[in-house]
């Protein structure tokens, strides 16, 4: 089967493992990405990290950074050359890139499908409402990243088949605990897991003594990082906090840390390549995702959670959107916006190494069961086969 996958998300090298896994299942796959993608976190240049077994090509993109109006002007020509049977548009149905893509797919006789994370029911103004209707009619299948997104599609009248699966999984051979810890995770309750983890990554663990709290992603208001800073100020014991990522909240968070007198314990604005993320996670004692719901957004998945879980790190998240369903019984959940509850759970993990070890074991196994790249790719190929 010849498939063309069009995805700005696949500029990230770590995500390209999904394409390799799809190709391994006998799919003649071509991936088209832009040379870069800009958003509120900054600019991500296209990487070439996992490229075996398929074609990975960059093509021009117009209106880079405009989530709704970007599109690929050469896509018609690309598809005429590739002659795919299936065109997988890794885009929301109300975006110009998607309506442009389904029309290009139709011009070469290909079936098309789209992907959606949108877990809030929203009525878009023209022309985006029109784009959505065109895409709904053109696509007989869609992939929804979570169950709430599926419900939104049904409520809006989409009549095609909907398959619920995350956009990406993780490669557990890359996102993994250190070798010794990986053996220990097979038996939950080991007491020395964190000592092992702290000693592995010198770049992030120069001081092995403090409890290392981490976050990865955009430094954005909806991520609740101000709440995390305030929660850390009341912790009893030695701790440090690293917020990896970039975004519009950087200066605000720096000011908050200084005003709270904790700037010497907080590292902000660490920019890491996708290849460096496993080492960062392995340096942590807990990964926190304190997202807060906004009128136009709630957490749609929280990929950093499964990456950290795969690396043998305990996780702690708010109850915004999909976070509790991703974590399951593999971590701790607090009511979003509740600083006291967040601080209490951080304190619990700071003092109870055995609890961190148990959560690490459960989390790793949960990823292996549900969230590997191979499993997500297998289910994605099953969608192609239905088309």
pLDDT at 173 over 70: yes
What is the tens place of the pLDDT at every residue in 46-90?
999 999 999 999 999 999 999 999 999 999 999 999 999 999 999
pLDDT, tens digit, for every residue of 103-159?
Answer: 999 999 999 999 999 999 999 999 999 999 999 999 999 999 999 999 999 999 999
CATH number of 2-169+373-386: 3.40.50.2000
CA-wise closest residue to 281 among 357, 215, 189, 208:
215
* Among the four given CATH numbers 1.20.1440.230, 3.40.50.1100, 3.40.50.2000, 3.40.50.1400, the one describing domain 179-370: 3.40.50.2000
Judge whether 40 and 68 are in contact, CB under 8 Å. no
In terms of Cβ atoms closer than 10 Å to its own Cβ (0-12, 13-18, 19+), residue 236 is exposed
At a CB cut-off of 8 Å and minimum separation 6, what does 141 contact?
A: 111, 113, 160, 161, 162, 163, 383, 386, 387
Cα–Cα distances in angstroms (integers) from residue 189 to residues 53, 330, 348, in the given order:
40, 14, 16
Nearest in space to 164 (alpha carbons), one of 178, 151, 173? 151
User: Is residue 367 within a helix (H) or strand (E), and if so which, with residue range?
Assistant: helix 353-370
SS3 of residue 32 by DSSP: strand
At 40, the pLDDT band (50, 70, 90 cuts) reads confident
Q: Do domains 2-169+373-386 and 179-370 have the same CATH topology?
A: yes
Is the N-terminal amide bond of 127 cis, ω within 30° of 0? yes
Query: Confidence band (pLDDT; 50, 70, 90) for 160?
Result: very high
Pairwise pLDDT comparison (269 vs 322), residue with the higher score = 322
| Band of residue 274 on the pLDDT scale cut at 50, 70, 90 | confident
**Model confidence at 179: pLDDT above 90:** no
Contact 364, 310 (CB under 8 A): yes
Q: Distances in Å between the alpha carbon of 114 and those of 12, 308, 310?
A: 19, 28, 28
Return d(Cα 40, Cα 91) in angstroms, integer. Answer: 18
The domain segmentation of the chain, as residue ranges, is: 2-169+373-386, 179-370
335-346 per-position pLDDT tens digit: 999 999 999 999
CA-based max dimension of the chain: 64
Element (H, E) at 240: strand 239-244
Residue 149 in tokens: 């997104």
What average pLDDT does the chain have?
Answer: 92
């Amino acid at each position: 089967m010849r498939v063309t996958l069009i995805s700005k998300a696949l500029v990230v090298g770590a995500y390209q493992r999904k394409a390799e896994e799809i190709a391994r299942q006998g799919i003649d796959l071509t991936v088209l990405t832009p040379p870069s993608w800009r958003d509120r976190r900054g600019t991500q240049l296209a990487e070439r990290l996992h490229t075996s077994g398929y074609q990975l090509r960059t093509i021009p993109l117009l209106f880079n950074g405009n989530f709704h109006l970007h599109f690929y002007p050469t896509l018609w020509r690309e598809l005429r050359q590739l002659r795919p049977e299936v065109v997988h548009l890794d885009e929301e149905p109300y975006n110009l890139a998607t309506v442009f893509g389904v029309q290009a797919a139709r011009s070469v006789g290909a079936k098309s499908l789209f992907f959606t994370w949108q877990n809030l029911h929203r009525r878009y103004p023209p022309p985006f409402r029109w784009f959505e209707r065109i895409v709904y009619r053109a696509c007989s299948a869609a992939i929804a990243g979570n169950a709430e997104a599926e419900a939104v599609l049904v409520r809006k009248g989409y009549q095609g088949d909907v398959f619920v699966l995350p956009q990406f999984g993780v490669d557990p051979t890359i996102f993994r605990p250190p070798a010794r810890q990986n053996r220990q995770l097979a038996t939950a309750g080991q007491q020395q897991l964190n000592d092992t983890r702290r000693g592995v990554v010198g770049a992030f663990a120069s001081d092995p003594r403090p409890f290392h709290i981490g976050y990865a992603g955009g430094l954005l208001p909806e991520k609740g990082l101000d709440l995390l800073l305030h929660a850390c100020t009341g912790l009893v014991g030695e701790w440090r906090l690293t917020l990896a990522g970039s975004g519009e909240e950087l200066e605000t968070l720096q000011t908050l840390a200084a005003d709270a007198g904790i700037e010497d314990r907080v590292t902000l604005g660490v920019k890491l390549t996708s290849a460096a993320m496993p080492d960062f996670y392995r340096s942590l004692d807990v990964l926190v995702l304190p997202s807060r719901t906004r009128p136009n957004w709630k957490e749609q998945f929280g990929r950093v959670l499964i990456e950290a879980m795969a690396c043998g790190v305990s996780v702690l998240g708010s109850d915004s959107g999909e976070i509790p369903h991703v974590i399951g019984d593999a971590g701790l959940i607090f009511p979003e916006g509740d600083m006291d509850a967040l601080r209490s759970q951080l304190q619990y993990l700071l003092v109870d190494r055995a609890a961190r070890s148990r959560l690490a074991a459960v989390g790793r196994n949960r990823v292996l069961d549900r969230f590997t790249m191979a499993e997500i790719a297998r289910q994605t190929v099953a969608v192609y086969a239905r088309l």
